[in-house]
Amino acid sequence: MRNRLRESPMDSQAIVASVEAWLSTHPEITTLAIFAALPGEPDLLPLVKLHPERRWVLPRVEGDALTFHPVTDPENDLHVGAFHIREPHAYSAQVPVTEIDLFLCPGLAFDLQGNRLGRGRGFYDRMLEQARPEALKLGVCFPFQIVADTFSEPHDIRMDGLITPSPAP
């Protein structure tokens, strides 16, 4: 899956449109956690400028944990950090995980039972354990990342659903 993600041409615009469509039916969602894409992952950063009325937060690696920080201008608010991932600067304010309404989560693969296969270090699973029970967790992926079984383990946190590209009209 890692190779396929790196080698496949991706259309993040279609996923951004799917997220926008989902958000249009959920005005109650005000604080959203997104991620800065690794090669092959969907790029959700355009949403920050498209919807400045919402509070967008991105993760920063702090030891074995993720902390979240507000981002209003991805070009200036992010720098290359741990694991060569763009993340907020250390001096930016921290937003408690309990204030986040929606987590848009990356992954290598997802299954239709809500399981997510991450990159193996458990950052998202440890962080999502701390989220409010009513906070939504949605996997964001391309259709080929949906597999029959991710072979989840007891510590894996399930997604509440998936967002994939909308079919072309």
CA distances for 114 relative to 5, 107, 137, angstroms: 20, 12, 9
Give the residue among 91, 60, 62, 56 at the shortest CA–CA distance from 74: 56
Per the domain annotation, does 163 fall within a domain?
Answer: no
Per-residue model confidence (pLDDT) at position 9 = 64
* The predicted structure's pLDDT at residue 137: 98
Per the structure, the complete domain to which residue 62 belongs is given by 2-156
The whole-number pLDDT of residue 169 equals: 43
CATH number at residue 55: 3.40.50.10420
Domain count, the chain: 1
Strand, coil or helix: 130: coil
Residue 167 maps to a domain: no
* Residue 93 forms part of a structural domain: yes
Segment 53-76, tens digit of pLDDT: 999 999 999 999 999 999 999 999
Residues of the chain with pLDDT under 50: 168-169
Per the domain annotation, does 164 fall within a domain? no
Residue 53 is predicted with a pLDDT of 97
Q: Determine the pLDDT at residue 121.
A: 82
pTM, two decimals, is 0.93
Residue 168, domain member (yes or no): no
User: 10 Å Cβ neighbour count for 103?
Assistant: 26
Residue 57 lies in a domain: yes
Pairing of the two strands 78-80 and 86-88 = antiparallel
Q: What is the pLDDT of residue 132?
A: 97
